[in-house]
Amino acid sequence: MQIALAGGGVDAQGSEVVVFITASSNEEAEKLGRMVVESRLAACANIVSGIRSIFRWDNQVTVENECLMIMKTTLQRYSELEAVIRQHHSYTVPEIIALPIVAGSVSYLDWIRSETAK
């Protein structure tokens, strides 16, 4: 198995990222995931259901059932992905967090880049 540093060095334009997004339901997560994968803004969108989130909102501590989406994309596509999520998400302030992929399977990283190419 080959392992590569993601992004091929210091150039961030092709760097692969994992994006975490929470949604209010499986239906919303699937709708958003399908939307970004079909438009090539993400190569993949995993949906993890059954999470409990504890957060402060409107000066109160709140506990909610949510779904977590784990999307794989590139920094080059991130801004567009974020805009689509913001436009179609039911939350006023949706969680949209991108983390760099620092290493991974060469073939998988190539696949992310190829599936999100413009």
Mean pLDDT taken over the chain: 90
Residue 11: pLDDT over 80: no
Summarised one tens digit per residue, pLDDT across range 54-85 is 999 999 999 999 999 999 999 999 999 999 99
CB 44 within 8 A of CB 17: no
Cα 79 from Cα 36, distance rounded (Å): 12
What average pLDDT does this structure show over 1-13? 47
What are the structural domains of the chain?
3-7+15-115 (3.30.70.120)
The pTM score is 0.87
